[in-house]
Amino acid sequence: MKKKLSRFLVSVGASAAVIMSMASCGGSNVPSANSDAAAGTTDKADEEGEAKQNEAGKNEAEKNEGGKSGESEAADEVLPDKSSETSETESSKAEMTDFFISKVAKDANVDTQEVRSFLVDDIDFDGEYEGFMFIGTEADKEYNSCEGEVWFVNEAGSKKLHDKFQYYLNDEGDVFSIVEGHDKNFVVFNDMYATSLVTNFYYTDGETCKESVVSGVGDAKVDEDTGDLVIQLSAYDCTCDFEKDSNEPMWLGHSWKPYYFYYSRNTGDFMEYGAKEINASELKDIVGTDVIKELEGDGYTVDNIIQRDNGIININYSKESKLNDGSRSINYMNATFDTRINDYIKAWDDDEADLYGSDFGGIYEVQLLGSAHESSALPESPDEVYGVFVMASKNSDDCLDTEAALMDAEFYDEFTVYTPDFSGLNKEPYYAVAAGLFSTEEEAEKCLKEVKAAGFKDAYVKNAGKYIGGEYLYTMTSTEGISVEDDYILLKDVPVSLPYPVEYENSTMNLYVDKDTEFAKDRDLGTFTNYEEGETPYEWIKKNLELNKTDPEAYSEGVPLHGVFKVGIKGDRITTYYSSAWWD
């Protein structure tokens, strides 16, 4: 059953992330050595659909759902002919494809044979077909590219999306691919430059074709491990030269730096992960070594340190050289540390995974596309939280007597802090009992005097830094905001708070429970009313929501979906359920 959550109510917000996949989609008759290769996603090896070239020179996605038709054992019952239904769908799609090709060719004033690659499908799931068409040259097999225009077409009309340009073909030899979000498809195609690619993103909304905010930023790929969209930005920012007595910069040196994005259901588009600058002390606490001292010892200047909300830390550093002719040159470099693996990443395949091997070259921006905070963002604690600490132990059970003693002394804001949750506390796991957490040192010192006067002579004040843990609390007082979809559950306008009683800006957000959301295996799952072993949170919520509809009296005995839930959140997706509690 639920535990009781005492002493404070939940305040609240949200960021958001979803798992996406990159898929080749639609038809193409661009000649290619691998034009008959199976189309698939980067993160789903078993994705249905295979690009197949038909006699007319157009590709159609094969349906792998064809069922058997025939008679049931009962003489008067006949099973529906699923293969017939599939055939009708394919026929309808083929007819619409021919219509779209003719329409675009007419509007572009070209012959239909010049429509060499296309993607036709119900892209926005509204029951209507839409099409993306490439008009131009045959494929250049040497450069795996073709030159021409890109058009959008539906039954309402057509419009040119992209002027004549060189486009890079995907692994299936097609111009177009699809990036899949949980509730939206994006059609993508790549502009081809001499040393880089730039990915265009479009989506449909009813009869309208819209361009994504990340369209044209850089070379986009879906990270198979995280599901994030990674955009590699091409720039000339590795070296800045100055002639003698001149302040006019000359930028040289090509870099390709990854930036990180997620799909937000709140905005219906991609968002860049939030980022901020941190200082050398904070970096040392996170990495565990004095990175700045190492760089400065090698003669470099550390320009700034950027902490991103997905766990990536970028360190910009540089070195200036003065030449005999009076000119000077500044070389710009960077390092990338990934807190998710607690190590540096390899910038290139032949590099080592260390400080200098994680250099992508050039200068990282704090935010590539400006502020990444949505109107509904995960709550953040103050940069400095001061705790009045009484005792600490490796074992949380050792804290129980001290907690009870503080309660008896009428310190009702007492709390046990897990030290790795705060940037300024011990990274080695300890449980520290605090008589209170405060946003100013003055408030903490005032509390300390009262705590010592009550007999806790060893109490002390410490700057705990800010909350950096991955757990949050959300509060549900009604099931009205819960809706079940085929592959996720939406918790609408949910108050979200930090798991510690500190002052911060309240937040409200939409949260999503996917089918791969998990219950924590090392927690007491008995706090989740009506939980049955082996259930996923998706199944548990769906079951109890149905119980509330069919038997409200039975549901009211434990009200499993009401209360305060401790969860792990990435963006707007709940990744893990830890516990369920009541509040007073």
Q: Round to whole Å and give the CA distance between 162 and 565.
A: 48
Q: Round to whole Å and give the CA distance between 88 and 440.
A: 69
pLDDT at residue 545, rounded to an integer: 94
CA triple 188-191-196, angle to 5 deg: 115
Residue ranges of domains in the chain: 89-212, 222-374, 386-463, 471-581
pLDDT at residue 440, rounded to an integer: 93
Q: Are 433 and 387 in contact (CB under 8 A)?
A: no
End-to-end CA distance of the chain: 16
pLDDT at residue 528, rounded to an integer: 94
pLDDT at residue 221, rounded to an integer: 96
DSSP-assigned states of every residue in 455-470: T-TT-EEEE---B--S
How many C-beta atoms surround the C-beta of residue 288 within 10 A? 10
Tokens at residue 124, please?
A: 């926005």
pLDDT at residue 158, rounded to an integer: 94
What's the sign of the alpha-carbon dihedral 85, 91, 93, 99?
A: negative
Q: Round to whole Å and give the CA distance between 181 and 361.
A: 31
pLDDT at residue 84, rounded to an integer: 55
Tokens at residue 377, please?
A: 């963002």
Strands (E), 88-156: 115-121, 130-136, 145-154
Pairing of the two strands 145-154 and 130-136: antiparallel
Nearest Cα neighbor of 454 from 392, 412, 409, 399 is 409
Q: Are 94 and 73 in contact (CB under 8 A)?
A: no
Report how far Cα 410 is from the mean position of its chain's Cα atoms.
43
Give the three-class secondary structure for 129.
Answer: coil
Give the three-class secondary structure for 239.
Answer: strand
pLDDT in tens, 471-502: 999 999 888 889 998 888 999 888 999 999 88
Burial of 39 (0-12, 13-18, 19+ CB in 10 A): buried
Q: Are 69 and 80 in contact (CB under 8 A)?
A: yes
pLDDT in tens, 55-111: 333 343 333 333 333 333 333 334 445 455 556 667 788 999 999 999 999 999 999
Tokens at residue 436, please?
A: 């209170």
Give the three-class secondary structure for 387.
Answer: strand
pLDDT at residue 52, rounded to an integer: 36
Strand (E) or helix (H) holding 2: none
271 beta partners: 262
Nearest Cα neighbor of 263 from 168, 185, 161, 197 is 185
Q: Round to whole Å and give the CA distance between 123 and 206.
A: 10
In the sheet that holds 460-463, the strands lie side by side as 415-418, 431-438, 386-393, 460-463
In the predicted model, residues of the chain with pLDDT beneath 70 are 1-89, 370-376, 583-584
Pairing of the two strands 460-463 and 482-484: unpaired
pLDDT at residue 505, rounded to an integer: 75
Strands (E), 407-542: 415-418, 431-438, 460-463, 471-476, 482-484, 488-497, 507-519
Q: Is the pTM of this model over 0.75?
A: no
Tokens at residue 205, please?
A: 């909304």
